[in-house]
Structure 1
């Protein structure tokens, strides 16, 4: 018995997920006649987190649609900026995205991060429990049905990763308002109150401090401030900012 064949067209930005020999404009795909369109797309290597509308012969269909013989399918990429309804916009990053997590926190974006590999199942469960958008370069993790929402991070360069996330989700930026170590909120700190936590040279040189309300880490405008300021200014210039922050 012949199995039905469909024609799939992926948006150009989605073709990076396809095997090299399948990266053509119109891809003939033989299906089993019972699997959903979502399953067919994922079996080709494209995470559903990256799919926007699915059109069959020009008509939008859900991922549960079972394609029939001869159908022409267009898979669009997600529309940017992408909205995530039903919860405040918060992120969860896997063990491989530590630099991205710290940069998002620097910009005031709520970015939880697991510094140890706790496994895909635990990450997916945490995403669901805290209603956080899972950010990862692991397609297998993004295929787990338990995750609240997810997004593939396309680049392995932190500068590009930040621009990708900010451009895709348009979170409100509040630079210098979060602890880059633990994601807790920063508050202004009196120098005398944090003096015992400072090295002698720091106490002598600096007068303006902020402290994390969660882990009590102390921040000041140290040697790396100019580099961090450049990251903040570039992001704010391109994506805008909102909110207030301690003067650090």
Structure 2
């Protein structure tokens, strides 16, 4: 865009998206009298999924506001915990976030995950069709207009990713109720029901089992249970 400028100041939490911003978080932006403020903010690098309140000369405005020359804009981050209206809180994770998906499921959070790259249009369409919050580190994906809701995953470390998403959305946690493989619900199962999945040593050593109602996978408190319990206890104290 070429034309008169507005002054845009970003909150510190958003500066990682704005390489051109000055140390104070401010940057000039050209106006054309047509483009919305939401478009201007995204053109500067910040997905609207990460934007909370937009202030123009101190007053709140919607992303559809068309800025006038000389206006002073403040861009705040989303409030935490972030409320997602209109549907039960459910997530969709892109192909790069498999570990985060499994940990959310371990905590009983509905977290769909695509283990293969189905492409940005399909992911955004699934988010809209199933009304799921799309989690991604792909800024371009989070700018797609057909997206129902989304959130940028700020860290590359699964521990930090999980903490950040739980802090941001505060989902209800119900550990050990979802299949970490497919996201389906778990139910208690008898040893006989899952016998075809058990080695002889497991059959002798364990008596308590669960089974996924979607994929049929069996679960029991095996060798890795202590490691998983440590993750659960971090967020759901006993």
> What is the rounded CA distance, in whole Å, between the counterparts of 1:118 and 1:235 in structure 2?
32
1:48 and 2:48 aligned: yes
Contact 1:101 1:112 survives alignment (8 Å): yes
Counterpart residue number, 2:6: 6
In structure 2, the partner of 1:243 is: none
Taking the aligned partners of 1:139 and 1:22, their CA distance within structure 2 comes to 21
The alpha-carbon deviation at position 69 of structure 1 amounts to 1.1
Distance 1:34 1:4 in 2: 12
Report the TM-score, using the length of structure 2 for normalisation.
Answer: 0.96
1:91 partnered with 2:81: no
Partner of 1:168: 168
Q: Which residue of 1 aligns with 2:150?
A: 150
Partner of 2:221: 221
Whole-Å Cα distance in 1 between the matches of residues 107 and 23 of structure 2? 37
Aligned match of 1:65: 65
Q: 1:72-130: CA deviations, max 9, x gaps?
A: 00000000001111111000000000000000000000000000000000000000000
Query: What secondary structure is seen at the aligned counterpart in 2 of 1:192?
Result: coil
Structure 1's unaligned 5+ residue stretches are 241-248
What TM-score comes out, normalization by structure 1 length? 0.92
Cα distance per residue 1:9-64 (max 9 Å; x no partner): 11100001011554533222222332111111001110000000100001111111
Contact 1:4/1:33, CA 8 A, preserved across alignment: no
Q: Please show how residues 93-112 of structure 1 align to structure 2 within 5 Å.
A: 93-112=93-112
Is 1:131–2:131 an aligned residue pair?
yes
Corresponding residue of 1:177 = 177
Q: Judge conservation of contact 2:15–2:21 (CA < 8 Å) in 1.
A: no
* Bigger mean CA offset, 49-58 vs 205-214: 205-214
Q: Shift of the alpha carbon at 1:193?
A: 2.1
Alpha-carbon shift at residue 192 of structure 1 (Å) = 1.9
Aligned equivalents of 1:24 and 1:31: distance in 2?
21
Consecutive unaligned residues of structure 2, counting only runs of 5 or more, are none
Q: How does 1:17-56 map to 2 (within 5 A)?
A: 17-19=17-19, 22-56=22-56
CA distance in 1, matches of 2:120, 2:28: 32
Identify the residue that residue 78 of structure 1 maps to in structure 2: 78
Aligned residues, how many?
Answer: 237
SS of residue in 1 equivalent to 2:164:
helix
Instruction: Look up the match of 1:118.
Output: 118
Q: Is the 8 A contact 2:21 2:27 kept in 1?
A: no
* Cα distance in 2 between the residues matched to 1:188 and 1:109: 18
- Residues in 2 aligned to 1:57 and 1:71: alpha-carbon distance in whole angstroms: 6
